[in-house]
């Protein structure tokens, strides 16, 4: 038997590569939970991954996806060089844990679409209750993170203060953020998605800080509506307009996932406590964002303040219950 024959036999087949349906379903459900968490400010999909016991596998999958592997995978499926080789493509697919990533991604995207639709409806009908709920989530998230954070130097403390100030300023009315061009959408996608893999740090919260959370929720919901309408003869213009924003955000997210997330990981490796202090500071400073949204949308009266506070309590209790049943979050292990 030649070396080439041996190599061919060692390559996986499609039937042997695909995982069992039960494993698919479990990963998909975890993706649903992660996506639901990622779509809500104050709750982190990375925390859900940690609770579900897949965080290490998730990080390993992301770091395994390199430019060389992407090129080799595409080359194996195109009639170039050695020709099309499905088995060679499957071998690379398994190296990056592709089936796991695919099932997880489908679950995440399904949940994000559903949750953002709910957020879109709530932002139009009951913005006070929606952002009050978010305030409670963010506040308790900050408490949980601060409880686990310990500072050992002035530099680490300053990093935390910088995070608070930066988030507080960005969460207010900022002219260049209100413009909302495609470049900002791209950057928001890169930052938001890259943060989603960090336990305790919500990617949606960073979108709130950047003033893009409500916009992206509305745009995604309108894109789905216009896409469904186009199937029954509706106009294509809304599909293209909203789709351009959604695709720009997704491309930014992919770029961020494989670039910014790696920068954050290196920063954590270099000075873990200072980096976490900065990230936790962002959460604290972001408490201004829900208040700013309600103030701009309806204005604060006694009734509005009471409704806001009541919704905040509900959000706080919800996250406290999740934290009660979750694993202990150790920031030093992130």
Task: Give the SS3 label for residue 266.
Answer: helix
d(CA 296, CA 167): 18
Residue from 160, 171, 178, 165 nearest 274 by CA: 160
Instruction: Provide mean pLDDT across the span 291-308.
Output: 89
DSSP characters over 183-218: HHHHHHHHHHHHHTTSTT--HHHHHHHTT-HHHHHH
Q: What is the pLDDT of residue 78?
A: 82
What band does 6 get if pLDDT is binned at 50, 70 and 90?
very low
CA dihedral 132, 137, 140, 146 (to 10 degrees): -120
Q: Are 47 and 329 in contact (CB under 8 A)?
A: yes
Which residue, 329, 194, 212, is CA-closest to 267?
A: 194
State yes or no: pLDDT of 326 exceeds 60. Answer: no
pLDDT tens readout for residues 196-249: 777 667 778 888 888 888 888 888 888 988 988 888 888 888 889 999 999 999
Higher pLDDT, 244 or 1: 244
Residue 118, pLDDT score: 87
Cα 41 from Cα 137, distance rounded (Å): 7
Report pLDDT for 215.
Answer: 84
* Tokens found for residue 166: 């930066």
48 or 5, greater pLDDT:
48
Regarding predicted confidence, which is higher, 142 or 311?
311
Q: Are 272 and 332 spatial neighbours (Cβ–Cβ below 8 Å)?
A: yes
All residues at 6 or more sequence positions from 114 whose CB lies less than 8 Å from its CB, including other chains: 36
What is the rounded distance in angstroms from the CA atom of residue 87 to the CA atom of residue 242? 38
H/E stretch holding 264 reads helix 260-270
pLDDT (0 to 100) of residue 15:
61
Least confident of 57-71, 265-279, 288-302: 265-279
Region 94-113 average pLDDT: 90
1/147: higher pLDDT:
147
Picking from 312, 316, 278, 256, the residue whose alpha carbon sits closest to that of residue 43 is 316
Helix (H) or strand (E) holding 63: helix 55-64
Among 171-180, 259-268, 300-309, which is the least confidently predicted range? Answer: 171-180
CB 144 within 8 A of CB 329: yes
Looking at the predicted structure, is the pLDDT value of residue 280 above 90? no
Q: What's the N-to-C CA distance of the chain in angstroms?
A: 48
DSSP state of 66: -
Q: Is the pLDDT of residue 52 over 80?
A: no
The candidate with the shortest Cα–Cα distance to 243, out of 264, 14, 251, 283, is 251
pLDDT for 7 equals 47
CA–CA separation, 329 and 216 (whole Å): 29
């Amino acid at each position: 038997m030649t070396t080439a024959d041996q190599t061919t036999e060692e390559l996986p087949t499609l039937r042997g590569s695909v995982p069992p349906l039960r494993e698919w379903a479990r990963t998909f459900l975890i993706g649903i939970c992660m996506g639901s968490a990622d779509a809500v400010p104050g709750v982190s999909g990375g925390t859900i991954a940690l609770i579900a016991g897949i965080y290490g596998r998730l990080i390993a999958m992301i770091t395994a996806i390199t430019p060389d592997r992407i090129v080799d995978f595409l080359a194996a499926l195109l009639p170039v060089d050695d020709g099309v080789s499905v088995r060679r493509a499957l071998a690379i697919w398994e190296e990056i844990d592709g089936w796991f990533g695919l099932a997880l991604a489908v679950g995440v995207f399904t949940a994000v679409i559903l949750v953002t639709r709910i957020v879109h409806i709530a932002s139009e009908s009951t913005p006070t209750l929606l952002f009050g709920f978010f305030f409670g989530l963010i506040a308790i998230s900050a408490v949980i993170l601060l409880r686990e954070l310990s500072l050992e130097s002035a530099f680490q403390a300053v990093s935390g203060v910088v995070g608070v100030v930066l988030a507080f300023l960005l969460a207010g009315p900022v002219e260049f953020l209100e413009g909302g061009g495609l470049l900002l959408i791209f950057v928001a996608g890169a930052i938001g998605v890259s943060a989603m893999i960090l336990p305790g740090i919500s990617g949606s919260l960073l979108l709130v800080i950047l003033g893009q959370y409500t916009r992206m929720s509305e745009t995604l919901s309108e894109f789905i509506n216009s896409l469904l309408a186009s199937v029954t003869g509706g106009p294509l213009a809304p599909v293209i307009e909203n789709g351009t924003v959604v695709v720009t955000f997704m491309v930014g997210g992919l770029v961020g996932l494989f670039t910014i997330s790696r920068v954050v990981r290196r920063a954590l490796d270099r000075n873990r406590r200072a980096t976490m202090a900065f990230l936790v500071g962002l959460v604290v400073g972001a408490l201004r964002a829900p208040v700013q949204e309600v103030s701009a949308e309806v204005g604060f009266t006694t009734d509005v303040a009471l409704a806001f506070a009541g919704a905040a309590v509900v959000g706080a209790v919800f996250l406290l219950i999740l934290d009660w049943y979750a694993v202990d979050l150790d920031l030093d292990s992130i």
